[in-house]
Amino acid sequence: MRKLSFLFAFILFIFCKSQYHDVANYSTRNTPINGLKIKTNLPFSTFQMPSIILEGYAYGARKSIGIIINYYIYQGEFHAPTSQISSYGSFSPKITLANEDGKVVIFMEDKIYFVRFSVRASGSENPEYYKNWSIVDEPLYGDKRLTLPYKNNYSEIYNSDFNINGSLSSSIDSDEGGSLTLHNPRKHGNTNHAYRWVLYNMTGGYGNSLQFWNYSLDNTMHSPRLIISDNGNMSLPTGKFEAKEVKVTTTPTADFVFAEDYQLPKLEEVEKHIKDKKHLPEIASAAQMEKEGVNIGEFQIKLLQKIEELTLYTIELNKQNKELKKRIEKLEKQK
C-alpha cells in the first residue's frame, strides 16, 4: 500500500511538471548594460493567460529568484487587474511586459551582476509557442507596456511568529501607498477600541507623509492619530501628548531684554494694551491660540521675555522703594 501511495505521488508530480515547458536558460557573470529581456514566442493576443516561472539565483544581490508571472491581454492591452507577479524568492526586480513585433517580451530592469535562472511556461495547447525563446541584454523598445505589481497574499496563521532576517517592503501605486496593518481580535468593542492600526506612506490629498490610522470594528472610528510629514514636521490631529522630558532647541533666547539698548515698554502702555486687547503685548490672544495653535519654542521665549521684563520692572520698583524709604527716614529725623 505504501509503495502504491509513493507511486501515485510520483506520477502526480511528473504530470504536474509536464504541464510546464522548459523554454529558456540564462547565466552570465557580467552585469547587464540595459537589463534582461525575455523574448517569448507567445503572440500578443487575447486568447491566453499564461503562467511563466523564473527560478535561479542573483549572485550580485545574494538573493534567490522565484517569480511567477501571469498576464491577460484584453482589447489590445495588457489587462492590469489580472496581470501580476507573485514571488517565492527574495529577489523582486522591476518587471515590465511589452509587445514587440507581435510577440510578448518580459523585461527585467534591475542590472545585477552574475545572474542565472531558468524559465518555464504553460497556458496554451500549441507547443510552438514554447519554442525559440531567448534572453538577451538589450533595451526595451516595444509598446503596450505594463509594469507588473507584486501581489503576494499570505494566509493568517493563528498565534504564530513571522520572522524576517532582512527587509520588509509594501508598495502600492495610490494616494494611500504601501501599508502595514496590525490587528488585535481582543479589541472587539465598537467605541474607542482600535481593532486595527494601519501605517501608511501617503501622498495626494493626504499630504506627503507617514501616517498612523486606527479603525474600530464597526469602522465608526477611522482617523489619523499621528502624522509625520516628509519634511520632518509631526502632528497629533487628536488626543494628548505626554512625556517625562521634552527638549526644545531654538534660537535666539530672550536675553536681549537685558541689553543696554532694549526699550522696556512703559507700564502705562502695557496697562492700556491689556485694557484694550485683554492679553499681554506680543502674546497671542486665546482665540488666536485656539484657531492657529501655539509654537511651543517661540511661546516659551515670549513667556521668558515677559518674565525678564517683569524682573526689570521689579528691580526698578525696588530702587524706587529704597529711595522713598530714605526720604521718609530723612523727614522723620527732621521732626
Residues 6+ apart with CB under 8 A from 153: none
Predicted pLDDT of residue 220: 81
Contact between residue 148 and residue 83 where contact means Cβ atoms under 8 Å apart: yes
Would you put residue 137 in left (φ > 0), alpha (ψ -120 to 50) or beta? beta
d(Cα 198, Cα 221) in Å, to the nearest integer? Answer: 13
Whether the model pTM is above 0.85: no
Could you please state the CATH topology (level 3) that the domain comprising 18-147 is classified under. Immunoglobulin-like (2.60.40)
d(Cα 261, Cα 253) in Å, to the nearest integer? Answer: 17
From first to last of its 335 residues, the chain has per-residue pLDDT tens of 445 444 444 444 444 444 789 999 999 899 999 999 999 999 998 767 899 999 999 998 889 999 999 999 988 899 888 898 999 988 888 999 999 999 999 999 888 889 999 999 988 778 889 999 999 999 999 999 999 988 876 666 666 676 676 677 787 878 998 889 888 878 876 667 888 899 999 999 999 999 999 988 877 888 899 999 999 999 988 878 888 888 877 666 788 888 889 999 999 999 999 999 999 999 989 999 888 888 888 888 889 999 999 999 999 999 999 999 988 888 888 87
Residues facing 67 on adjacent strands:
54, 87
Burial of 299 (0-12, 13-18, 19+ CB in 10 A): middle
